[in-house]
Amino acid sequence: MKNESKIKKSIGESSAKWSNMFYIASLLMLSIYQYVKTSVLGTEFILLIIGLVIFFITYFIKSKGIANNNKN
């Protein structure tokens, strides 16, 4: 049972990673297209930046938590 849940967790993490990469790439391409066409950064760029900020904040919080758990 433990191995099965670890495998499902691994699959879920991999799926989340790839879908996140897709959204980042899509929003980046759409932002570049919008900027070239209108010389204005649209809401796509704001969504991209907000998503990246959330990603890095959670990444640093989780990595800090893992580092603190390894010290104990």
C-alpha–C-alpha distance, residues 19 and 27, integer Å: 12
Mean local confidence (pLDDT), 57-68: 80
Q: What percentage of the chain exceeds 90 in pLDDT? A: 31
- The pLDDT value recorded for residue 59 is 85
The larger pLDDT score, comparing residue 62 to residue 8, is at 62
C-alpha–C-alpha distance, residues 70 and 13, integer Å: 22
> What pTM, to 2 d.p., does this model score?
0.68
Contacts of 55 (CB under 8 A, 6+ apart): 20
| Cα separation of the two ends of the chain | 28
37 lies in which domain range? 2-71
C-alpha–C-alpha distance, residues 32 and 13, integer Å: 28
How many domains does the chain fold into?
Answer: 1
- The pLDDT value recorded for residue 68 is 67
